[in-house]
């Protein structure tokens, strides 16, 4: 047996598992089994695990009874044989391949325990696989429904194809005359196109000739007018004899008649060209009518082609549906084979799944412990970060205060420095004024003094004043520099 439920069950476990199947076991039968007690257990197991009712299990086949000469003699043997047949099939499914009549009529404790454990094993396995079987049955039902829908659609497509084929056959008689007429009209149109091309060439030539003749007539009219004007001018200028004048008039009349004759011939040719143009216009209208008729015929041919294309598409769709039906049938067979193989593999997968679940549980527990440690470490880190952030905020506030104090002191020192600069500038200006006045007085009061000695003393006095001024300036600048240096150090 390849089921996952254990087969070496204790007496209490056997009794409890059979009670779950609505089979109430007498524990004394496991040590001293009897036919009268064991058969109801097997009957209830067959009813519970195979889905056969008690009436179906005990009802004989009436068609088989009619064969016997005395069917009343087999009223008990046939139901017993039917029951044993179903029980044997069930026990083979449970993995007990040596089940026989002695296990029912002369049961042994060891074999009875083994058989009951096998039934319990199969029942547990059946309970575990009910969900999967239901899912597979649902999928199979869906595939069967899809197959039926595809079959219905296939029948519908076949009916549509037959209808289109009948319609095509019915219209085939109409298509042949239309195709013949189309070919005839196409030949006529081709011939007319050739004639049209020739006539177009002739029209171009005639138009060119008409234009040439019109130009010549215009030139002749202009020449005649100019000649008449010139003749009048000459006639006014020259006085000739009457005889000569009559001859000239006769010549002019003859020339005029010739011009009129030439103009009449040009008008006749122009009228002929107009008639030809009118004929060409009629021909073009007839040609347009033929072209329109050809377009209508082309539309009919296009509709015929569309119907043919639709029939072809329908045939292709039917072939596609047939291929899909074949694929679905193959997939259905494959699904049935997979269902059989899945039932064999499920036990091994469940055992492996149990081992994986246990390993996963151990891994989850280990990960939880690691998570707790990491969370504790994160909490400590968050506390340290909060403390450091508080220190940083204190340092930033202290730095802001120091910067504000420094800015205040710098502004105060700069104010003092500006005041000192203005004072030094005033002092230097006053000193320059004093030095200039003292030099002028010294030069006026010591005229009798030796020029050399007096000049030296004046130069010495000026030098002393300049040195004193430079000394004061350096002292003030040094004080301001020391103040700024002290401010920067602070």
User: Residue 30 CB: number of other CB atoms within 10 A?
Assistant: 17
**Ordered domains of the chain (ranges, CATH):** 151-341 (1.10.287)
Query: Which pLDDT band, with edges at 50, 70 and 90, does 89 fall under?
Result: very high
Mean pLDDT of all residues belonging to the chain: 77
Query: Which pLDDT band, with edges at 50, 70 and 90, does 419 fall under?
Result: very high
The pLDDT value recorded for residue 60 is: 62
Average pLDDT for 88-113 = 91
Judge whether 457 and 439 are in contact, CB under 8 Å.
Answer: no
Comparison of pLDDT for 223 and 337, the residue scoring more:
223
The pLDDT value recorded for residue 454 is: 44
User: Residue 315 CB: number of other CB atoms within 10 A?
Assistant: 14
Query: pLDDT of 173-219, one tens digit each?
Result: 777 777 788 788 888 878 888 887 887 788 788 788 878 877 877 88
Contacts 24+ apart (CB under 8 A), 264-273: 266/213, 266/214, 266/216, 266/217, 269/209, 269/210, 269/213, 270/210, 270/213, 270/214, 273/206, 273/207, 273/209, 273/210
Residue 211 to residue 489: CA distance in whole angstroms: 112
Whole-structure pTM over 0.75, yes or no? no
Q: What is the DSSP letter of 34?
A: -
pLDDT at 480 over 90: no
Cα–Cα separations (whole angstroms), residue 441 to 78, 444, 445, 463? 169, 5, 6, 16
The pLDDT value recorded for residue 465 is: 47
Cα–Cα separations (whole angstroms), residue 148 to 106, 137, 162, 266, 329? 52, 16, 21, 89, 11
Which of 22-26, 69-73, 128-132, 408-412 has the weakest average pLDDT? 69-73
pLDDT at 291 over 50: yes
C-alpha 184, offset from chain centre: 53
Residue 322 to residue 442: CA distance in whole angstroms: 139
Token digits of residue 322: 């047939």
The pLDDT value recorded for residue 409 is: 87
Q: How many residues does the chain have?
A: 490
The pLDDT value recorded for residue 33 is: 92
Which of 60-64, 407-411, 426-430 has the weakest average pLDDT? 60-64
Judge whether 424 and 473 are in contact, CB under 8 Å.
Answer: yes
> What proportion of the chain, given as a percentage, has pLDDT over 90?
8
Comparison of pLDDT for 46 and 314, the residue scoring more:
46
DSSP string, 421-489: HHHHHHHHHHHHHHHHHHHHHHHHHTSSS-HHHHHHHHHHHHHHHHHHHHHHHHHHHHHHHHHHHHHHH
The pLDDT value recorded for residue 88 is: 92
Query: Which pLDDT band, with edges at 50, 70 and 90, does 1 fall under?
Result: very low
Average pLDDT for 229-250 = 70
The pLDDT value recorded for residue 489 is: 41
Query: pLDDT of 434-454, one tens digit each?
Result: 888 766 665 555 444 444 444
Comparison of pLDDT for 85 and 464, the residue scoring more:
85
């Amino acid at each position: 047996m390849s089921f996952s439920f254990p087969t070496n069950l204790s007496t209490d476990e056997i009794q409890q598992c059979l009670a779950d199947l609505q089979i109430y076991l007498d524990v004394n039968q496991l040590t001293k089994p009897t036919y009268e007690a064991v058969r109801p257990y097997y009957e209830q197991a067959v009813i519970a695990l195979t889905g056969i009712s008690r009436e179906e299990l005990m009802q004989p086949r009436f068609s088989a009874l009619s064969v016997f000469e005395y069917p009343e003699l087999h009223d008990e043997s046939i139901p017993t044989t039917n029951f044993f047949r179903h029980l044997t099939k069930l026990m083979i499914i449970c993995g007990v391949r040596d089940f026989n009549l002695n296990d029912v009529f002369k049961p042994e404790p060891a074999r009875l325990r083994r058989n009951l454990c096998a039934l319990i094993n199969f029942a547990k396995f059946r309970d575990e696989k009910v969900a999967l079987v239901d899912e597979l049955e649902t999928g199979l039902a869906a595939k069967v429904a899809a197959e039926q829908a595809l079959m219905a659609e296939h029948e519908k497509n076949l009916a549509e194809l037959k209808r289109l084929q009948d319609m095509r056959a019915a219209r085939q008689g109409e298509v042949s005359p239309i195709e013949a007429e189309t070919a005839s009209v196409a030949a006529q149109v081709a011939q007319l196109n050739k004639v049209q091309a020739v006539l177009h060439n002739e029209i171009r030539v005639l138009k060119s000739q008409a234009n040439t003749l019109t130009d010549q007539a215009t030139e002749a009219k202009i020449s005649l007018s100019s000649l008449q004007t010139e003749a009048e001018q000459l006639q006014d200028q020259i006085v000739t004899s009457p005889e000569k004048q009559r001859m000239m008039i006769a010549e002019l009349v003859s020339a005029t008649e010739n011009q009129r004759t030439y103009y009449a011939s040009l008008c006749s040719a122009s009228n002929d060209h107009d008639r030809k143009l009118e004929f060409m216009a009629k021909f073009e209208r007839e040609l347009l009518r033929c072209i329109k008729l050809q377009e209508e015929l082309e539309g009919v041919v296009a509709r015929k082609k569309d119907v043919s294309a639709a029939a072809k598409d329908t045939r292709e769709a039917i072939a596609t549906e047939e291929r899909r039906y074949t694929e679905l049938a193959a997939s259905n067979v494959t699904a049935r084979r997979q269902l059989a193989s899945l039932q064999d593999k499920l036990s091994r997968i469940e055992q492996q799944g149990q081992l994986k679940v246990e390993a996963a549980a151990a891994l989850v527990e280990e990960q939880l412990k690691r998570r707790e440690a990491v969370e504790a470490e994160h909490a400590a880190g968050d506390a340290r970060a909060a403390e450091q952030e508080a220190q940083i905020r204190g340092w930033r506030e202290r730095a802001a205060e120091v910067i504000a104090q420094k800015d205040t002191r710098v502004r105060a020192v700069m104010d003092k420095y500006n005041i000192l600069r203005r004072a030094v500038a005033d002092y230097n200006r006053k000193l320059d004024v004093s030095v200039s006045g003292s030099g002028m007085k010294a030069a006026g009061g010591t005229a009798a003094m030796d020029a050399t000695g007096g000049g030296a003393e004046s130069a010495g006095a000026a030098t002393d004043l300049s040195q004193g001024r430079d000394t004061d300036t350096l002292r003030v600048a040094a004080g301001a520099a020391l103040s700024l240096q002290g401010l920067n150090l602070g």
